[in-house]
Amino acid sequence: MRKIFLGVALSAAIISCKQETKVEADKPASTEWVDASQYESFGAEISPEGALTADEMLAKYETMAVGDSVEIAFKGKVNSVCQAKGCWMKLDLGKPESESFVRFKDYKFFVPMDASGSDAIIKGYAYKDETSVDELKHYAKDAGKSEEEIAKITEPKVEFRFLADGVLIKKKS
């Protein structure tokens, strides 16, 4: 009886060790320390710790299918902001033509319209979605695009999207 009990206990210990190793492997690679006092906060209070880099986030998006989503945080440079009221922004994902379109949860907060070029950290849900022509034209108009540029939008587009609970934008010096 003791040998059976000892065998079960030893098996449980080995299995526990293997699971712990797997959890460690799933942790984000980013361990860079960020001084949160250098950032202005919008929406829910979030922490910069554990945020993926733009390159890591792009790799995550590329493995997703349309309709997939994941709760995550990442940091990147703000490419553009809605010029009507700051109700969306686009974050650079580190490669040309690669960015994440970010909207804000429940439309409860906005970001400064002059945030383009700033570093940002966002937390919420990343997902891959197909955006309709009408919606693409609406966003192009919000971004201040010309009528000619808007008229060139004729097909829906698969995009990397993000619904942010909270945003940190680096304060301008």
Please write the tens of the pLDDT for every residue from 59-75: 999 999 999 999 999 99
Residue 19: CB atoms within 10 A of its CB come to: 10
Q: Tell me: pLDDT of 29 over 60.
A: no
Query: Residue 110 is which amino acid?
Result: F
Identify the architecture of domain 29-170 in CATH: Beta Barrel (2.40)
Residue 152: CB atoms within 10 A of its CB come to: 10
Q: What are phi and psi of 73, to 5 degrees?
A: -130, 140
pLDDT in the model for residue 16: 42
Please write the tens of the pLDDT for every residue from 2-17: 545 444 444 444 444 4
Report the predicted TM-score, pTM, of the whole model to 2 decimal places: 0.72
Query: What are the residue boundaries of the structural domains of the chain, listed by start?
Result: 29-170
pLDDT band at 32 (very low <50, low <70, confident <90, very high): low
pLDDT in the model for residue 123: 98
pLDDT in the model for residue 34: 67
